[in-house]
Structure formats: C-alpha cells, structure tokens
A and B are shown apart, each in its own frame.
Chain A
Amino acid sequence: MLLPFFWMVTTSFKSSSEVMQMPPQWIPSTWLWSNYAKAWSVAPFARYFFNSFFMAITTTIGEVITTIMAAYAFAKMKFFGKNALFAVLLATLMIPGQMLLIPNYVTINRLGWFDRYEALIIPWLASVFGIFLLRQFFRSIPDELLDAARIDGCSRLRFLWRIVVPLSKPAIMTVALLKFLGSWNSFQWVLLMTNREAMRTVPVGLMSFRSEVGTAYELLMAAAVLAIIPVLILFFFTQKQFIQGVARTGIK
C-alpha cells in the first residue's frame, strides 16, 4: 500500500532520466530539490492552493451543517412521505455524474455563477451520501434520549446540536473528511465551471504537467507531493474519529 506513495515521493526528487529507468531506481542518485521549485513555477500554485483550501473548507462546513439537519429529519422525525423522499434521494446516487455535467453547466451559467466561487461551492453544500451515512448513525441513538430531553424542555434543535452531534462525532468527522478529500481532489467540475486561472484549484494545476504526448513525471510528482500534504495533515489529526466513524456506520 505504501509503495505507490514511496514511488511518488522519491520520483519527485529524481532526474527525468531516472524516472523510467528499468529496473526501477528507487532512491534518486541525486536528490533534486529543484524539482519542487520548477513545479511550483509552472502554474500559479499559490492561488490554486488558496482556492482549494477555500473551496474544501467552505463546502465541508456547509455540507456538515446541511447533512446533519437532513439526516436528523430522516432519522428522528415523522412526516408525510419520509421514506419515499429518502428513496428518491438515494436513487439520485445512481445517476452517473457525467450525465449531469452539461445540465449543471447550463444551470450554473443561467444563475450567473460561472467562473465564480458560487459555482465551486454552492452546488456542493449538500450530499445524499452524507445524509445517508449520518441517518444510519443517528438511528442508533436511542429515542429515549430525545424523550427525556423533551420532558426537560429541550427543543429539537437544541437536542440535535447538544446531544446528537456530540454523540455522532466520529460519523460527522467521516463525512467531513470524505467531503474535504472530494473537494480537494475535484478536477472536472472546477475545469468546467471556471475559465480564469484565479479561480482554479490544485488538481487543475497538476494537469499542466501532462500532455497528449507525454508527461513530466518528476515535476508532476513534486506537485502531487505538495498537493497531498494538507490532506495528510488533516488525516493525521482526525484518523481516530475517521476510523471509528467508518467502523460504526458499517461503511467500507
């Protein structure tokens, strides 16, 4: 599992001649730190990193809030057509993303959001998968807790934020981490919905090292190492909750 990661890191320090050497040259003969400077200068990566962070953080916060509320409604509230509505939501997971690209492009244009942060953020503030995952988790919280809280005069909203959310921290962290990763790695959506370099993100920048006829692997790997550092840091800080969340919701 670690081999591709190891290859990525060591390749980022290799010369172009060592990249494809057979048998593989696992350790570079000379450690070329200059690959990082070169990769950084190929595209405005500082701006791309800012955009990636901004997009990933805002969509993560937004999605966590909307999914918590929706999942609570589906898990703990009674209303007409709840199950049918939930089934419709789940059915949307089966629509291939590619099919929605053109309609979404048209919609974003008509809303006047094209090439703006709105296009990168607002459509991603809710997630059916997140709702499903949290609903399953919320259902495992005993109804008696809600009854007791209501007897004590606690409103639904307060019960949700003061009792359900703290109890569901691992599942919420899982949703948040998956969302952050998804946003951080988002390529096609960003490419489609933006034109200006100032609006683009790190994965689009990584494409700069590829062409139809060849790839500058050593530079691509240097940029890729830089791109995964924030994700790695996030994972190190949240891995306990992430693993708990995945284990307790049965998601693999």
Chain B
Amino acid sequence: MLRKGILLGLIGLMLIGFGVFAQEPVTIEFWHSMSSGHQPYLVELVDKFMEEYPYITVNLTYQGGYGDTEDKVEASVVAGNPPTMVQLYENVITPLVEVLYPIGPQMTAEEKADILDGLVENNTFDGVLVSVPWNKSIMVLFYRSDLIDTPPTTWEEFATMAADLTVDIDGDGLIDRYGTGLRPYNPELFLNYLIQNGGTILNEDWSAVTIGDQAGVEAMQYAESLVPYSYISSGYLSDAVGSDLVAMFVDTSAGYYYNNKAAVDNGFELSVARVPAGPVNNKSAIQGTNLVVFDMGQTQAQKDAAVLLARFLIRPENTVAWSLRGGYLPVVKSAYEEQAWLDYLVENPEYIVMSEAMVDGFAQILHPNYGLMRGTIGGAFEEVILGASTAVDAMANLVLDLTDLLDD
C-alpha cells in the first residue's frame, strides 16, 4: 500500500513537473533592417537563442532599410497586425508606446542596471523601460592618418586643419581633395555641434524651443564656416574617402568597416578619434535602433518569447558577439569587461575611442513629435550646407517650425 502510494506520488510529481516545464510551441515574427552584411550574424544569434529555447520559433524577416521598416510598421499598426518584435529608432517608438509591451518590467534589476546609462534614458518612457537598445553606434572622427599626424581635438583645430587640407593637387584651379566631408541632410551632425556648444532643442519641460538661442546659432554658423572646405555629397562618405576626396569627416562608428575598407583598398590609412570638442564638451550622438515588443493582438506566450529574445540579445556575451562582427558597440556595461571584447580592443584600438565616446554619448529626446522635429532640423542644416540659406535665417525659420510642432 505504502509502495503504491509512493509510486502514485512520484507519478503525480512527474505530471506536475511536465505541467510546469513543458512549454507550448510559440512562433514570433521579428522584423529587422539588417541587410546581407549583418544578417548572417543576426541569424547566428537567433539560431543560438532557438537552441536554448527550443519551444520558440523566431521568423526573422528583413524589411528593407530603416525607413522601409518604419513605413511597414506604421501600416501594420493601422491594420492592427504588427509583428511581435521590431528594431526601431526612438523617434519611431515614441508615438507607438501605447501599443508596445514594456520589456523592462520583465527584466531583472541586474539586467536593467547593466544597460549603459545613456541608453536606459532613451528607452524609458514615463519611467518605464519600454524598449532595449540593440545595434548602437556613436559618431566619431575618421581621419586619414597618412595625411594627419595628430587629429584635431577642438572645433578651431578642426576648422583650421580642414582649410589646410583642402588642396588643388594638380594645379588646375580645382580642389582635388577637401579637408572634410559633409552629408547635407545630417540632423545628428548638427545636434553634435549644438550639444557641444551647450545648446538644447527644447527646454527641460519641453514647453519652449531653445534651439535658436545663441548656442544654436553659433553651432549652425560653425557648420556654415566649414562649407568651403567640405566635400558635399549625399552619398556615403566611405565612397569619398576611397576616392581620395576627403581627409577627415565625422561619421557613425557603424560605418567603420566600410570607411576603413574604402581607405585601405585604395592605399590610404584611416584612423578614428573622438569628435573635436566644442566650447562646452565633445559629446556625440548615439545612433542605432532598439528592440520593441508589440502588444496588439499578440498572445501572452508570444510577448513572453519576444521579451526572452530581447534579453538574450543584450546579454554581455551576445552584445559583444554582435558588436565584434557587426561593427556596433556593446549596449551593456558588463560587456566592456568581457574577455572577448578586451581582446578585440587590443587588436582594434580604434574601438577604445568608440567605446569611450559611447559611454559619453547623448541620445535623442523622447518628445512625441521628435521624428518630425528631427526632419525639420535636418532640413535646416541641409539648407545651410547647400548654401540655400544663411545660418541665422535657417535658425530663425527652424525655431518657428519647431514651435509649430511643439504646439501640435
């Protein structure tokens, strides 16, 4: 009798065990913008995730560039069938917060504390960590070390060096190589100048536009002063450096692979430094996207699976693996102490500079209209760079446009 009881008890425990641990299969959609260069590494990481969680199937779907993905997300939200998970910029996340499933509350305190401070800030909405940072990069200075011994560290040095390095090599009266390069539509580059000069887009409580203050006007005037010494093109600056058209330029660290390859392939040397400091600091813009989970028709099991994937992707060893192969920078503090990362820094010292800049970087503001504001700022910068407007006029118009957006 006793044996029977023990046996039944064991069977009961086993059944309870199965009930607790056996998981129903669940499939999630993950929309991303990683083209052939990065996609294989993402696939590897997701395969590893599915090995660890065999009941979860992740359908990775490439949705074109960031803009294409954003368009599709917007359409899918209107249609009421967004995917479970997407990579998005903060300015796209902001208007979607109400239909997102916050990831932060599902994470441990240690995990949340491990995310780089600047990245926590730009994924937190109304005090809740809604999304998590993923493929992050930072703006740095790329310079031809075969032309420049010591990179410029201040705005003044940069401007002087840009002028000196703008040269007519063959004496035909035309400039053959410019000191620097500018992409006309580049809101983040202007924001670098703004923040480095102590300016802000809006005041602290977002009740007024402050971009037109003296700091903002000076920042735009500084950009304007660089125009005569700049190769201006909407194309990739890697193409310009490969063609010996520019000596130095500010670009995202994610472009390191292409920039370096273009230089090396053509027999030049390219190095990386922090962006030159403005009068106040040398902070630069953090770029790249974050992971969000949708709460719009997804089952609880799908949302839980997506949160697990997000947490998996930012684990120290995984964010390091992603950074090593994808050219990004780790998004959690402990990753910077991982042996693999430390070894990588020894072999690739330029990433030390990028890491330092990342820790110091500034993020987008999370105003609900920031997406439109960013476009307007980019438009004003473009006008100045293309000579369609003076810095003073562009800033005056920018203030009016941003005030309208603030009032909307």
Residues of A within 8 A of B (CB): 15-17, 19-22, 42-43, 101-102, 105-106, 109-110, 188, 191-192, 195-197, 204, 207-216
Contacts and interface: CB of A to CB of B under 8 A. Distances in A.
B254 A213 contact: yes
B123 interface: no
Contact of B38 (A22, A188, A211): A211
Contacts of A213: 236, 238, 252, 254-255, 257-258, 327
A106 B61 contact: no
Given A195-B61, A209-B35, A214 B68 contact: no
A197 B60 CA distance: 10
Interface stretch (B221-229, B241-249, B397-405): B241-249
A105 B79 CA distance: 7
B374 to A, nearest CB: 15
A106 B81 CA distance: 9
Contacts of B36: 42-43, 208-209, 216
Contacts of A195: 29, 59, 61
Interface residues of B, number: 42
B265 A216 contact: no
Max chain A Cβ within 10 angstroms of own Cβ: one of B35, B81, B259: B35
B42 to A, nearest CB: 12
B74 interface: yes
B71 interface: yes
Interface string B324-356: 000100000000000000000000000000000
A209 to B, nearest CB: 6
A196 B66 CA distance: 18
Given A21-B243, A213-B236, A213-B252, A191 B75 contact: no
Nearest to A22: B243
Contact of B243 (A20, A192, A214): A20
Interface of A is mostly: helix
Contacts of B367: none
B20 interface: no
A206 to B, nearest CB: 10
B95 interface: no
B387 interface: no
Contacts of A19: 242
A105 B78 contact: yes
7 contacts: A20-B242, A20-B265, A109-B79, A188-B71, A213-B255, A214-B255, A214-B259
A207 B75 contact: no
A207 B67 CA distance: 13
A192 B242 contact: no
A96 to B, nearest CB: 14
Interface string B17-35: 0000000000001000111
A17 B254 contact: no
Given A102-B75, A105-B78, A213-B252, A20 B262 contact: yes
Contacts of B243: 20-22
B111 interface: no
Contacts of B106: none
Contacts of A43: 36
Contact of A22 (B37, B39, B238, B244): B244
A17 to B, nearest CB: 3
A105 B75 contact: yes
Given A20-B265, A212-B65, 18 more contacts: A17-B242, A17-B265, A20-B243, A22-B244, A105-B75, A195-B29, A207-B35, A207-B64, A207-B68, A208-B39, A210-B65, A211-B34, A213-B252, A213-B254, A214-B236, A214-B238, A214-B255, A214-B257
B316 to A, nearest CB: 24
Contacts of B360: none
A213 B244 CA distance: 18
Interface string B368-388: 000000000000000000000
Nearest to B76: A105
A204 to B, nearest CB: 7
B112 interface: no
A192 B265 contact: no
A106 B254 contact: no
A212 B66 contact: yes
Contacts of B79: 105-106, 109-110
Given A195-B61, A208-B35, A188 B68 contact: yes
A106 B38 contact: no
Nearest to B135: A212
Nearest to B239: A20
Contacts of B65: 207, 210-212
Contacts of A191: 63-64, 68, 72
B164 to A, nearest CB: 21
A43 B266 CA distance: 28
A106 B266 CA distance: 49
A153 to B, nearest CB: 53
A43 B62 CA distance: 11
A15 B34 CA distance: 23
Contacts of B29: 195
A211 B71 CA distance: 17
A62 B96 CA distance: 40
Given A211-B35, A213-B254, A192 B261 contact: no
Contacts of B261: 16
Contacts of B327: 213
Nearest to A207: B64
Contacts of B39: 208
B218 to A, nearest CB: 30
A113 to B, nearest CB: 12
B285 to A, nearest CB: 14
B109 to A, nearest CB: 34
Contacts of A21: 242-243, 266
A192 B75 contact: yes
5 nearest A-B residue pairs (beta carbon): A214-B258, A17-B265, A20-B242, A105-B75, A213-B255
